[in-house]
Amino acid sequence: MNLLISIIVVSGLVLLAAGIAASHTASYALTVVAPYLVFVVFLGGFIYRIVKWAKSPVPFRIPTTCGQEKTLPWIKNNPVENPSGFWGVFGRMAQEIFLFRSLFRNTEVKIIDGRPIYGSAKWLWFFGLLFHGSLLIIILRHLRFFTEPIIPCVNALSAVDGFLEIGVPALYLSDVALLAGLTFLFLRRVIIPQVRYISLFTDYFSLLLICGIAVTGLLMRHFFPADLNEIKTLAMSWIIFSPVVPQNISVVFYIHLCFVFTLMAWFPFSKLMHMGGVFMSPTRNLANNSRMLRHINPWNAPVKVHTYEEYEDEFRDKMKTACLPVEKE
């Protein structure tokens, strides 16, 4: 059901884009007004979400430790999986963000011969990393539309990305990788019953939307070549705040743009915000040093306790009978 609705919504976006392409006013809205609106919503929303998280304090130091802690000097500790200071945390976060360290641990359980077996299950890690990595490369590659002259490293990146030189224009490896990653993540979500059971509309929709962006992008590059000069002119016109409605641009580009704008506007209000959230997770970004340095809870409030005096008042006679020392005779 959630999958069906996602497909309907994505198809709706295609129709919407086609409609926009046919109408001059709508084209104006999409290429002149929408970019700024979407950008403001994306950036504003992103900052809003981060600020909102940041406003909630971290009252307790609660890292999840995944290795030996720093204790006695002769016991070898694991400075990254169980960091005791800044650089350890830095290393741990870097591993988490660039290498998906925790996901790398993934296993799959099966009951075989009456006992659970924990098989290796690195596919989710592999395709997850493939997907995120290639998405990053693709976004960076797109900077060529927004810089003049093009930043050298972007050109270099594109060259490396297309080094196989399959076809003209060259097929980008990142495009293939992205589609492979998306396909795996999507099929996994649809085929594995447990994952399907927990999936919400937003889970399918994010995948389909990004898939739509990738497919339209590939179509423009390899099948219905888009006028790159026209697109670059448009992109640069946004940058210098004098947007123009492009002429002679294909419907595919309108669909591509519609998908991208939808994704950007929707991003801050969806689960995609894990991109920002991963940096703020208190089980990962805190050093495990709570016995060395006192962690301060900003709202630490007094609570009702049972004092020793109250305790002794109740049990004084019994304590005396048992020959235990008391404060008041």
> Could you tell me if 270 and 277 are in contact, meaning their C-beta atoms sit under 8 angstroms apart?
no
Q: Which helix (H) or strand (E) holds 109?
A: strand 107-112
Q: Cβ 34 to another protein, closest distance in Å?
A: 20
Residue 180 binds to another protein (criterion: CB under 8 A)? no
Residue 152 binds to another protein (criterion: CB under 8 A)? no
Helix axes 251-266, 201-218, angle to 10 degrees: 150
Beta-strand relationship, 107-112 and 115-120? antiparallel
Q: Cβ 275 to another protein, closest distance in Å?
A: 9
Q: Cβ 10 to another protein, closest distance in Å?
A: 14
Residue 44 binds to another protein (criterion: CB under 8 A)? no
Please work out, in degrees rounded to the nearest 5, the angle formed at the alpha carbon of residue 267 by the alpha carbons of 175 and 90. Answer: 80
Mask: binding to another protein, 181-200, rule CB under 8 A, as x and -?
Answer: -----------xxxx-xxxx
Residue 67 binds to another protein (criterion: CB under 8 A)? yes
Which CB sits closer to another protein, 228 or 293? 293
Q: Cβ 53 to another protein, closest distance in Å?
A: 5
Residue 284 binds to another protein (criterion: CB under 8 A)? yes
- Contact positions with another protein (CB under 8 A) in 16-35: none
Nearest to 130 by CA among 170, 160, 174: 174
Which CB sits closer to another protein, 224 or 311? 311
CA pair distance 153, 64, nearest whole angstrom? 38
Q: Cβ 232 to another protein, closest distance in Å?
A: 34
Q: Which helix (H) or strand (E) holds 205?
A: helix 201-218
